[in-house]
Chain A
Amino acid sequence: MAKAANFSVVGQRVHRVEGFDKVSGEAQFIADIKLPGMLTGKILRSPYPHARILHIDTSRAERLRGVRAVVTAEDTIKRPWGAFFADQYILSVGKARYVGEEVAAVAAIDADTAEEALDLIQVDWEPLPAVFDAEEAMAEGAPLVHEDKERNIALTIDVERGDVERAFAESDVIVEDTFQSMPQWHCAIETIGSVAEYEPSGRYTIYMNTQTLFNARYRIASALGVRESDVRIIQSAVGGGFGGKSCDDNNALVAAVLARKARRPVKIINTREEEFLAGSRPRVFMKIHVKLGFKRDGRIRAKHVRVIADNGAYSAKAPAITGVAAMRHDTCYKYTDVKTQAYLVYTNKIPTGAFRGFGNPSAEWAVEQAIDIGAHALGIDPLDLARINAAEPGYVSPHGNRVTSCELKQCINIAEKLMDWKKKRADKRPNTGLGFACTVHVSGKRHFGDYDGSSATIKINEDGKALILSGEGECGQGAHTVMCQIAAEELGIPVEDVEVSRADTDLTTFCLGAFASRLTYVSGNAVRDAAAKVKAQLLEQAAEMLEANPADLVCRDGRISVKGSASKSVTVADVARARLFRHDGAPIIASGSFDADSVLPDKTRYGNESGAYNYGVQAAYVEVDPETGQVKVLDYVIASDCGTVIYPIGAEGQVEGGFAQGLGYALIEGLQFDEGRPVNPNFSDYRIPSMRDMPPLRHAFAESYEPTGPFGAKGLGELNMDPTAAVISNAIFDAVGVRIKTLPITPEKVLRALREKEKEEKH
Chain B
Amino acid sequence: MKRQITLYVNGEEHELEIEPNRLLLHALRDDIGLTGTKEGCSIGVCGACSVIVDGRLVSSCLTLAAACNGKEVTTIEGLAKDGRLHPLQQAFIEYGGFQCGICTPGQIIAAKALLDENPRPTEEEVKEWMSGNLCRCTGYYKIFESVMAVVHNKLSPDFQLKRRTQEAKIQSLDVYKPVAKTD
Contact = CB atoms under 8 A, between A and B. Distances in A.
Contacts of B132: 690
A32 interface: yes
B39 A31 contact: yes
Interface in A688-718: 688-694, 697
Contacts of A689: 139-140
A688 B99 CA distance: 17
Given A15-B93, A661-B136, A272 B35 contact: no
A27 B102 CA distance: 9
A668 interface: no
Contacts of A658: 139
15 contacts: A15-B93, A15-B94, A16-B98, A22-B104, A189-B102, A190-B100, A237-B100, A476-B100, A477-B99, A649-B95, A652-B96, A657-B136, A657-B138, A657-B139, A660-B138
B140 A240 contact: no
A189 B40 contact: yes
Interface string A631-669: 000000000000000000110110011111100000000
B43 A684 contact: yes
Interface in A215-265: 237-242
A481 to B, nearest CB: 10
A22 B36 contact: no
Contact of B36 (A24, A190, A477, A661): A24
A512 B103 CA distance: 27
Interface string B114-134: 000000000000011011111
Contact of A690 (B75, B89, B98, B134): B134
A661 B139 CA distance: 8
A682 B41 contact: yes
Contacts of B75: 25
A118 B161 CA distance: 48
B6 to A, nearest CB: 22
Interface in A12-41: 15-29, 31-32
A188 B96 contact: no
B162 A496 contact: yes
A25 B163 contact: no
Given A16-B93, A23-B89, A25-B36, A660 B139 contact: yes
B84 to A, nearest CB: 11
A240 B96 CA distance: 15
A189 B46 CA distance: 8
Contacts of A29: 35, 38, 102
A200 B79 CA distance: 44
A25 B99 contact: no
Residue from A24, A29, A31, A697 having most chain B Cβ neighbours under 10 A: A24
A346 B138 CA distance: 34
Nearest to B80: A24
B137 interface: yes
B143 interface: yes
A188 B89 contact: no
A704 to B, nearest CB: 22
B142 interface: yes
Contact of A20 (B138, B139, B142, B164): B164
Interface residues of B, number: 58
B130 to A, nearest CB: 5
A17 B164 CA distance: 11
Contacts of B79: 24
B149 to A, nearest CB: 13
Contacts of A361: none
Given A23-B85, A188-B136, A684 B45 contact: yes
Contacts of A477: 99-100, 137
B163 A20 contact: yes
A408 interface: no
Contact of A691 (B36, B137, B140): B140
Contact of A653 (B39, B40, B94, B142): B142
Contacts of B94: 15
A693 B128 CA distance: 10
Contacts of B38: 29, 31, 189-190, 239
A746 interface: no
Interface in B75-94: 75-77, 79-80, 85, 89-90, 92-94
10 smallest A-B Cβ distances: which pairs? A25-B36, A476-B100, A239-B102, A22-B101, A660-B139, A656-B139, A25-B76, A649-B96, A496-B162, A32-B35
Contacts of B90: 23
B40 A272 contact: yes
Contact of A189 (B48, B77, B96, B108): B48
Nearest to A476: B100
